[in-house]
Amino acid sequence: MTISTAATPVILDVDTGVDDALAILFAIKHPAINVLGISCVAGNASLERVVDNTLRILDVADAPLVPVAAGARRPLLEPARSAAHVHGESGLGTLLLPATGRKAESISSIELMRRLIVASPRPVTLVGLAPQTNLALLLRQYPECADNIERIVFMGGSTTVGNATAVAEFNVWHDPEAAAIVLDSGVPTFMYGLDVFNQVSIGEPVALELLRKESNLAQVVGRLLSNRVALGAGRNAEYTGLIGDAGALCALVDPDGVTTEMLPLRVQLSGYGRGQTLVDQRTHPGEDIVHGLASEWEAAEVALDVDVDRYARLFLKTLGLSSALPQPV
């Protein structure tokens, strides 16, 4: 596969469950993205499963030999937690993929990221699609790497409701200290939060059409889109068709499809709100600022709205699957 010299050099940090798998496929296939390497962290599944899932998905994408390395097994402070109720025990729902001959690197993902960043002739964009433990460890252990990082695009947080708790999104909730370290690193950050994540979906008829195709890639994408999320007794599993983390990569290559604003942002580290991303959308200073009661917040570019149809079509087009869309009459 030929990578354009104009392509953005990217390192993915993933906890490969269903939505990360869709994002990896998109990143490998899009000509404006040059995936230098993939860092793995426990989150949607155990670290071992995340690494194995990542290597198998690279096979599906017919990817070149992209280096993949294992990172943190658990958050900085908290114990590891499972998301099997969403992604299944394997992390990929009901999708079964053949064993792969690809092997993970013998070095840690922290060391892999450092080497790739230092060696890159152009500043690298880090795309975090998982709890940010690896990114925090990189920036704390090798702070000089920040000089060659263009920005950090991360799927995480929310300006409204959460999913891990009423107010906290899973990736940030899983390791809020790590997210706080990344925001405080001085590297420009872009937050593709739960608000937009939950909007970009592909209709069930399209997923069913993909499952009918002979292409292995089409069938895998159809199965991933059809993964049904069941959250416990008494709750029906519903089709969502979300492209999930892939939306953050759509925003990377097609920023005009998302509405953003630079806003003060911080991570709540205590109480029930632990893991909540507090986004200050006020247009006038409040009492906390007027009376000097507010500490300084970091500013981040925050996605507030998204062109759903535009990104759904971009996703399918990038993977060469546009034929599954209903044809105009």
Query: Domains in the chain, ordered, with CATH?
Result: 8-320 (3.90.245.10)
Residue 199 and residue 112: Cα distance in Å, rounded?
33
Please answer whether residues 71 and 137 qualify as being in contact, where contact means their C-beta atoms are separated by less than 8 angstroms. yes
| Predicted TM-score of the model (pTM) | 0.93
Which segments of 129-241 are extended strands (E)? Answer: 149-155, 189-192
Segments in the chain below pLDDT 70: 1-5, 84, 87, 229-236, 294, 327-329
Residue 88 and residue 9: Cα distance in Å, rounded?
32
How buried is 287 (Cβ within 10 angstroms: 0-12 exposed, 13-18 middle, 19+ buried)? exposed
Q: Which of 80, 72, 73 is nearest to 109 (CA)?
A: 72
How buried is 68 (Cβ within 10 angstroms: 0-12 exposed, 13-18 middle, 19+ buried)? buried
The full length of the chain comes to 329
Please answer whether residues 9 and 3 qualify as being in contact, where contact means their C-beta atoms are separated by less than 8 angstroms. no
User: Could you tell me which residues are beta bridge partners of residue 9?
Assistant: 34
- Residue 80 has what pLDDT? 83
- Residue 285 has what pLDDT? 81
Q: Which of 73, 142, 72 is nearest to 114 (CA)?
A: 142
Tokens of 194: 């739960």
